[in-house]
Amino acid sequence: MLAYLPSPPRGVWYLGPIPIRAYALCIIAGILVALWWTRRRWVARGGAADDVLDVATWAVPFGIIGARLYHVITDPEFYFGPGRDPVRALYIWDGGLGIWGAVALGAVGAWIGCRRRGIRLADFADAMAPGLIVAQAIGRWGNYFNQELYGGPSALPWAVEIDPAHRPPDTPDIGLYQPTFLYESLWDIGVAVLLVWAGRRFGLRNGRLFALYVAAYTVGRAWIEALRVDHANHFLGLRLNDWTSLVVFLAALVFLLLRRPRREQPQTATAARR
């Protein structure tokens, strides 16, 4: 029996001349699950089923663009400068989608979609939060197939095998590493459970459930980011993603503390329409 997680035999298959990439399949699977679960939650709150697809039509492409922009902006040396090919900044199938860019620009797209449907963004965000974090959990397995987002060398029985071409240059003879992509995937599933429980137990509404998603995710991202050994730019000794997580966590915490629940009976999604 293997005492480690083997590297994937391949990350791309070909349908004739068309490449089918595991990274893209994981992202698409996550989006589909998020849409399905969001639709169920939104309809249960009195919303129209068609709202979800209409909002997603704006939020998903905005989110993908934002995710790529965040990665390129925080790691520009991969694409610009001597010997680099700027066109590769468009190659999203090679990996490099930053969650905070996806959330930020995806929120803009969701806001546009919500305005067009006449619904409140905060209500929609609460319905979407559990599905969104599960989508992240599924999408992280794309990093497994790309052999990226791993930590330092490890002898743990769940360590992941990384092929020589994907290993850090200072560890050419070491093949097993901390599977930080797996840790984040499991953390995300735990956050989804927390959101479902907290939503039912405390009736979090008016954007507060989405804020809990942001706060809980950033806590996990902080300790997982500390384990990673892949390239990252640093500021004052911390990876840029750590600083982003810290700022976003504080913003979510302030929102949770200051945004008081409504005193009146909770609105249904239909009642929240303008």
103 three-class SS: helix
Return the pLDDT at 273. 53
Q: Are the C-beta atoms of residues 181 and 150 closer than 8 Å to each other?
A: yes
Residues of the chain above pLDDT 90, percent: 63
pLDDT digits (tens, 9 = 90+) for 125-161: 999 999 999 999 999 999 999 998 899 999 999 999 9
pTM over 0.75: yes
CA atoms within 13 A on the CB side of 67: 20
Rg (CA), the chain: 20
Amino acid (one-letter) located at 90: L
pLDDT for res 139? 95
- Residues 70-99: tens digit of each pLDDT: 888 888 888 887 878 888 888 877 767 888
Which of 186-190, 200-204, 213-217, 234-238 comes out lowest in average pLDDT?
234-238
In eight-state DSSP terms, residue 21 is E
pLDDT in tens, 98-111: 888 898 999 999 99
Average pLDDT of the chain to the nearest whole number = 89
Percent of the chain residues past pLDDT 70, beyond the cut: 93
Confidence at residue 261, expressed as pLDDT on a 0 to 100 scale: 60
Judge whether 127 and 47 are in contact, CB under 8 Å.
yes
Q: Nearest 5°: phi and psi at 20?
A: -110, 110
